[in-house]
Structure 1
């Protein structure tokens, strides 16, 4: 799974799972552009990755089409070509049942988890299709396979992302491009620590109860680690994964078996 000579874009790559993905791709030879909206988080990520000129920070809000397209262009401007797109941006800041969700929360959640992948991938295809090679890896969630109640917008967006990926795989397969999803289980990133209490309230529990709930759904008896998600992305981004497309790879400790 050597990525020497390859370039990658990792959206939302300055924290959590995205940072672990960027680190793994770099350690296997790729040059990487990571995106994020916050300069402080971005600078901290660059320091942690410690990869010199092989990593570049692009400050961008992937929910904005112009920013998403600029991130793709940054890879080419910095490294000459684009090989791998990892659409990792996602999450939610509000949680509600179908009966209670507001239009604003619904649209913001879909924009963050679905529009971002569309904007980035659509522009990337203008480069990948002519060169007749490339990898697209979308980060969905176990909630896109077996959702919890109270997370309706997030679950709907992650289900839709899987559907988008499967359609894309059929459309671009003839051009030597693969498209796959990775569906992580619960990972206790800083984002989960920040937003988890809100999700917990919708589920009628507190944050420790939420974590116990997620652990209880697994076969392994523990949460998923960021490096385990990154390892799946590495496979799908590499030559070793060239026969895999349209797949939804669960990295959730057996939650959705």
Structure 2
């Protein structure tokens, strides 16, 4: 799993371990990752691999580490992502555009391509990628992010078509707003671009949900567990919303 040290990714790791899986997870910060591994208290069933998955070598190393440690790969979860910055499209500079696509799209491609080299020969496996409600819509200030999240859905559909007959499924999860540390850290910057407040930005996203509340990390993780299980074998090429009805699709 990419990006498993904190937030949604950390909860997915926990739910997979609870289900009896062995998990390799990555993250940019070595200290945070090792602390997470210790807190998981899963012994040899959890391995942290430090690295920046926007670099092809690091993404591939994370995938290969699972095979080296446990003898095979069954599930890849592309969770790493983020919002390097916020800007209206007409004010988006090259650096923001490229950085956003690197972490949200290129990293997914690198890890997915490497995973397929293991999954296709064994004719089984799952690829699960975190998109977003922004993969189904687009809010002001999030043009680059929405573009990347739409793109990973397209990539996932292509993979599903190509490897479905070979026993491999590929799906996206599209969470609504989840109150992770990333949202808390980056939300004020988005509010500044939009000329509003952090609380108003959060309230606007929550107001879209039919449930009238934010999505929880555990709700997103539960979908990942379903897709990874035998019960999820018939689901592929899908972009599944876990957003409390914010997109109603």
TM-score by length of 2: 0.98
Alignment-derived partner of residue 21 in structure 1:
12
Q: Are 1:61 and 2:52 counterparts?
A: yes
1:147 and 1:226 map into 2 onto residues whose CA distance is: 22
1:146, distance to aligned residue in structure 2 (A) = 1.6
Q: Give the RMSD, CA atoms, in angstroms.
A: 0.7
Q: Aligned partners of 1:147 and 1:52: how far apart in 2?
A: 42
Of 161, 170, 174, the residue aligned with 1:170 is: 161
1:240 to 218, 226, 231: 231
What's the CA shift string for 1:67-88, capped at 9, x where partnerless? Answer: 1110011001111100000000
Q: Deviations 1:92-134 (Å, cap 9, x if unpaired)?
A: 1211111100011001000000000000010111110000000
- Divergent runs of 4+, >3 A: none
Which residue is 2:149 aligned to? 158
CA distance in 2, matches of 1:49, 1:18: 13
Instruction: Find the aligned partners of 1:166 and 1:83 in 2 and give their Cα distance.
Output: 19
CA distance in 2, matches of 1:165, 1:146: 17
1:147 equivalent to 2:120? Answer: no
What is the alpha-carbon distance in structure 1 between the residues aligned to residue 115 and residue 34 of structure 2? 25
Residue segments in structure 2 that go unaligned for 5+ positions in a row: none
Matches for 1:42-191 after TM superposition, within 5 Å = 42-191=33-182
Give the Å deviation of 1:204: 2.2
Compute the displacement of 1:201 (Å): 1.7
1:25-50: per-residue Cα shift (whole Å, max 9, x none)? 11001000010010121122112211
SS at match of 2:76: strand
Cα distance in 2 between the residues matched to 1:213 and 1:44: 34
2:218 is aligned to: 227
Structure 1 stretch displaced more, 37-46 or 160-169:
37-46
Shift of 1:214: 1.0
Which runs of no fewer than 5 residues in structure 1 stay unpaired? 1-9
CA distance in 2, matches of 1:103, 1:48: 39
How far residue 202 of structure 1 moved from its aligned partner, in angstroms, is: 2.1
When structure 1 is superposed on structure 2, of 43-52 and 83-92 the one drifting more is 43-52
Shift of 1:150: 1.2
